[in-house]
Amino acid sequence: MPFVGALASCAASFRWRRTALVLFAALSCIARAEALDISVPDSEVGSGKTITIPVRATDARGLSALQMDVAFDGKAIELQGVSAGPILTNALVDFKVSDGTCVIAFATTQAVTADGDLLLLKIGRRAGSTQGSALTPQNVRAWSGDGGQPMKVSVRPGNIAPLASAPSFD
């Protein structure tokens, strides 16, 4: 009988370990789904010119609302507009620009289902400016569509460099 008791104990221990492993895997998936990386790529813009720069989201599945500030050098560039990127559908996007900061917020009725360009920033370089500028997302807060749970967020800023003018040959 001691063998049968040891076998039953081993089987119970195996079931417990298997259950713990499945639970750990499920919690890992949930934690991963609530992690969000916001990044702005480096770019160049010529004096007096305008470009569109994406705000990219990675691990964005489930994202349904976000609020953040984007800091920049207002003497070098101006942020002229913000719109929804291709992965953001049925969203209300609002922004306000003042003194080198743009406050951006959005809410959507359809949670984000993929990674990609979340927002599009219309950036202009001030005429005559020879300076570049960092584009730094700050104070980022994000919520998932599943009960409005807060999401963990990491941020990677980008830089806007002045594009040198092409030489002219007279």
- Quickly list DSSP for 62-114: TEEEEEEEEE--TTTEEEEEEEE-TT--SEEEEEEEETTEEEEEEEESS---S
Mean pLDDT of 129-146: 93
- Helix/strand/coil for 9: helix
What are the C-alpha distances in Å from 55 to residues 22, 31, 156? Answer: 35, 23, 10
pLDDT per residue over 91-125, tens digit each?
999 999 998 999 999 999 999 999 999 999 999 99
The CATH classification number of 36-162 equals 2.60.40.680
Mean per-residue pLDDT for 13-39?
A: 50
* Cβ neighbour number for residue 168 with a 10 Å cutoff: 5
Spatial CB neighbours of 84, under 8 Å, sequence gap ≥ 6: 91, 93, 106, 118, 119, 120
How high does pLDDT run on average in the chain?
Answer: 83
Q: Please state the domain extents for the chain.
A: 1-33, 36-162
